[in-house]
């Protein structure tokens, strides 16, 4: 029945309940377990947000101390994993490296087959702790530099930057990076989270679901857009070129990366908070040219098309200013979103139903297989 209604891209279709986060396009707001994300970004660390997303409540001082201890104890790059990463060509995209790394972590985790809630939580926390070392080392090896061991006296974000750049970062940089991690951590049934839930729904394991989620995040219509934003900035060069560049891009019907959203149609709730973090980085690094280009493109594209920036738009230039190579931007998104993915994996497992929608067949009608001449 080709005239049966279908919901292409599942647009507008609610497929399950979630208590992890609430995306509200009417009020342009995002709640993590009931808390407005911009309030969390202003007052707590990424570690506390991760705890909140997994456990449903912010940690007490004692709970936070125990979690921080666990995280710091699991930060090291497993030497076996390092050897495997070293075998991967630097022509491989860093998303392929982090996806392969999580797959190896799954194969080497003693609890992979244990899907009890406690084991799932421990695996989620181990991934949270270990992914930064993979991303940081991948950037370093691409630059011909050695591994930097983690430091136990630094928080998650400061240590992440330390392992990448081999120097203790200044507070404004740590703060902006931490805010980006908080904002990227969770966003309801986006494509990568939904992928993780589909995989979990078959009763597959947590690492497999995260590997699938990374694969879904890689695409430029989703997480890959933060990298693509920087390529756009490089192409445009400077603010004065925006109009001419946009004329041509729109004439070619190109998608402008970092703009538009499936759910938010009047602006992404996270952009103002990330834009403030970008402003602070622009001031810290003395790069008003980046802000001029950012504003020129955002103002002109939104005025012409009524399409607003999404979180990837301010995050791209922010990561560039901090010093990350452009191809590493989406792996940074992975490091953060692994929290949301694993919270959803646990939620899916706790009230599972196999995810298996229907399709409406529109191929050729039933026909007979042609008779074959017998082979001599």
Ligand X SMILES: O=C([O-])CC(=O)C(=O)O
Ligand Y SMILES: CC(=O)SCCNC(=O)CCNC(=O)[C@H](O)C(C)(C)COP(=O)(O)OP(=O)(O)OC[C@H]1O[C@@H](n2cnc3c(N)ncnc32)[C@H](O)[C@@H]1OP(=O)(O)O
Q: What residues from 230 to 289 belong to the interface with ligand X (CB under 6 A)?
A: 261-263
The site that binds ligand Y (CB under 6 A) totals a number of residues, namely: 18
Residue 22 touches ligand X, criterion: CB under 6 A: no
Residue 214 touches ligand Y, criterion: CB under 6 A: no
Question: Is 312 annotated in the active site?
Answer: yes
Closest CB to ligand Y among residues 23, 199:
23
Closest CB to ligand X among residues 139, 310:
310
Contact region with ligand Y (CB under 6 A), list: 56-64, 174-182, 220-228, 236-244: 220-228
Closest CB to ligand X among residues 159, 180:
180
130, 323 in Cβ contact below 8 A?
no
307 binds, among ligand X, ligand Y, none (CB under 5 to 8 A by kind): ligand Y
Minimum CB distance to ligand Y, residue 203 (Å): 27
Residue 222 touches ligand Y, criterion: CB under 6 A: yes
Site string for ligand X, 309-348 (x = CB under 6 A): -xx-------------------------------------
Q: Round the CA-based radius of gyration of the chain to a whole number and report it.
A: 22
225 binds, among ligand Y, ligand X, none (CB under 5 to 8 A by kind): ligand Y
Residue 307 touches ligand Y, criterion: CB under 6 A: yes
Which residue has its beta carbon closest to ligand X?
190
Closest CB to ligand X among residues 67, 184:
184
Given 222, 308, 320, 344, the catalytic residue: 222
Residue 190 touches ligand X, criterion: CB under 6 A: yes
Closest CB to ligand X among residues 26, 118:
26
Enumerate the active-site residues. Answer: 222, 261, 312
Binding site for ligand X (CB under 6 A): 187, 190, 261-263, 310-311
Binding site for ligand Y (CB under 6 A): 9, 220-223, 225, 255-262, 307, 310-312
């Amino acid at each position: 029945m080709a005239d049966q209604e279908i919901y292409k891209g599942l647009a507008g279709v609610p497929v399950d309940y979630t208590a992890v986060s609430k995306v509200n396009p009417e009020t342009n707001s995002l709640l993590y377990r009931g808390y407005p994300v911009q309030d969390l970004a202003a007052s707590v660390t990424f570690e506390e947000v991760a705890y909140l997303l997994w456990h449903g409540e912010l940690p007490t001082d004692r709970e936070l101390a125990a979690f921080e201890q666990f995280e710091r104890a699991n930060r090291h790059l497993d030497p076996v994993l390092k050897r495997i990463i070293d075998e991967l060509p630097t022509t491989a995209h860093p998303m392929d490296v982090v996806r392969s790394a999580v797959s190896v972590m799954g194969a080497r985790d003693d609890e992979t087959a244990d899907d009890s809630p406690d084991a799932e939580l421990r695996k989620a926390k181990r991934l949270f702790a270990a992914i930064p070392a993979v991303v940081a080392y991948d950037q370093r090896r691409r630059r011909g530099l050695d591994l930097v061991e983690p430091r136990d006296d630094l928080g998650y974000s400061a240590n992440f930057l330390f392992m990448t750049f081999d120097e203790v970062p200044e507070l404004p940089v740590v703060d902006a990076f931490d805010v980006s991690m908080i904002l990227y951590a969770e966003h309801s049934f986006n494509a990568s989270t939904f992928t993780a839930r589909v995989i979990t729904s078959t009763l597959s394991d947590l690492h497999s679901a995260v590997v699938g989620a990374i694969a879904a995040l890689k695409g430029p219509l989703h997480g890959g857009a933060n990298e693509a934003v920087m390529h756009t900035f490089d192409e445009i060069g400077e603010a004065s070129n925006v109009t001419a560049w946009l004329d041509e891009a729109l004439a070619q019907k190109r998608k402008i990366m970092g703009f538009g959203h499936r759910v938010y149609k009047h602006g992404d709730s996270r952009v103002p908070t990330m834009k403030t973090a970008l402003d602070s980085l622009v001031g810290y690094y003395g790069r008003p040219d980046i802000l001029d280009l950012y504003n020129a493109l955002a103002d002109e594209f939104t005025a012409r098309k009524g399409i607003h920036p999404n979180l990837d738009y301010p995050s791209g230039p922010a990561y560039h200013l901090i010093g990350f190579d452009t191809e590493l931007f989406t792996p940074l998104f992975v490091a953060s979103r692994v929290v949301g993915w694993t919270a959803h994996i646990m939620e899916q497992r706790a009230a599972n139903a196999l995810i298996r929608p229907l399709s409406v067949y529109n191929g050729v009608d039933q026909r007979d297989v042609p008779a074959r001449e017998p082979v001599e």
